[in-house]
Structure 1
Amino acid sequence: MSAAVAERNIATLHRFHTAVNSGDPDTIAKAFDEYLAPDLVFHAPVAVGTTGPEALKRVWEVLLGAFPDLRVVVEETIAEGDKVVSRNTVTGTHRGDYQGLAPTGRTVTYGEIFILRFVDGRIAEIRGVVDVLSQLRQLGAVPS
């Protein structure tokens, strides 16, 4: 794979994050249709009861319901071949129910790292590690 393909994949990832950071459900839905392969393999860090793009859509519905101002900042990307690794910082204010927790009004900041595999310019597979423990500590759900 060429350096041009790796750069194209990084640019696609950044456009995807710009769309999901909009907070607009229509923009996000269009981004999912445009940037995710229909047969996406999503290794979800949380159980959502479905697979493929629908699983990622459900994760975002839950997150935006709980943290309507959720923002993902891409801190670093590394691309090689058909894969892009993205280290992100996520922030949001807890304004809706989340994992059984009533809204606290607290702002959370936590890290995540995702490995994305691209096929024909679309995200075909996602594997991730999300610092949910830090998130839950900030919400007061687990002791510090």
Structure 2
Amino acid sequence: MSLDEMKAFVRQHFEDFVNRKQSQVALDNFSEDFVDHDEPSGEAVGPLAAKEMMEAVYQRWPDLHVTVEDCIAEGDKVMVRNTWRGTESSTGQKIEFHGFVLWRFADRKIVERWATITPPRIEA
């Protein structure tokens, strides 16, 4: 994939996986040996685990929306700076947090992810 193709892929991934609540895209976008380095185990989790995790997120923050603020690509990686906003389903509290996500690609699939987020800002 070219750098521009990888950036477009990541932007579309966020749009579908988060904003449109299409959890099934995990099955297409993540490799079978996908590793999320910020999961507690830091081991291979695969696309099904990513799909199930996101479905739990949809339940907790049904209006969760991510905005890609910046997107930079080099080599086989894409780095994104983003803003997340949503409302906690059980409390009605609005949250906002910012993050950086680094994705590594191989064979047109996401194979690794690293993420750093700010503590959420909670509105009353």
Identify the TM-score tier after normalising by the shorter chain.
0.7 to 0.9
How far does the alpha carbon of each residue in 1:85-142 deviate from its partner, in whole angstroms, 9 at most, with x for none? 01110011111xxxxxxx22011111011110001221110011122x3x2x5178xx
Deviation readout 1:7-41 (Å, 9 max, x if unpaired):
11111111111212112xxx321x11111111111
Distance 1:124 1:45 in 2: 14
Structure with the greater alpha carbon radius of gyration? 1
> Aligned partners of 1:58 and 1:129: how far apart in 2?
21
Q: Residue 96 of structure 2 is aligned with which of 85, 109, 113? A: 109
Runs of 4+ in structure 1 deviating by more than 3 angstroms, as ranges, are: none
Number of the residue aligned with 1:99:
none
Contact 2:88 2:94 in 1 (8 A): yes
TM-fit CA distance, 1:51:
2.0
8 A Cα contact 1:42 1:55, kept in partner: no
Task: Name the CA distance, whole Å, in 1 between partners of 2:44 and 2:53.
Answer: 10
What does 1:1-144 align with in structure 2 at a 5 Å threshold? 5-20=2-17, 21-23=19-21, 27-29=22-24, 31-45=25-39, 51-95=45-89, 103-131=90-118, 133=119, 135=120, 138=122
Distance 1:54 1:80 in 2: 27
Higher-strand-fraction structure: 2
Bigger shift: residues 69-78 or 36-45: 36-45
Using the size of structure 1 for normalisation, the TM-score is 0.75
User: How many percent of aligned residue pairs carry the same amino acid?
Assistant: 30
Superposition TM-score, scaled by structure 2 size: 0.86
Aligned residues: 123
Alpha-carbon distance in structure 2 between the residues aligned to 1:50 and 1:120: 17
Task: Measure, in 2, the Cα distance between the counterparts of 1:36 and 1:8.
Answer: 16
- Mapped contact 1:45–1:129 kept (Cα < 8 A): no
Which has the larger helix fraction? 1
The CA RMSD over aligned residues, in Å, is: 2.4
- Counterpart residue identity of residue 12, structure 2: R
- 8 Å CA contact 2:30–2:46 kept in 1: the answer is no
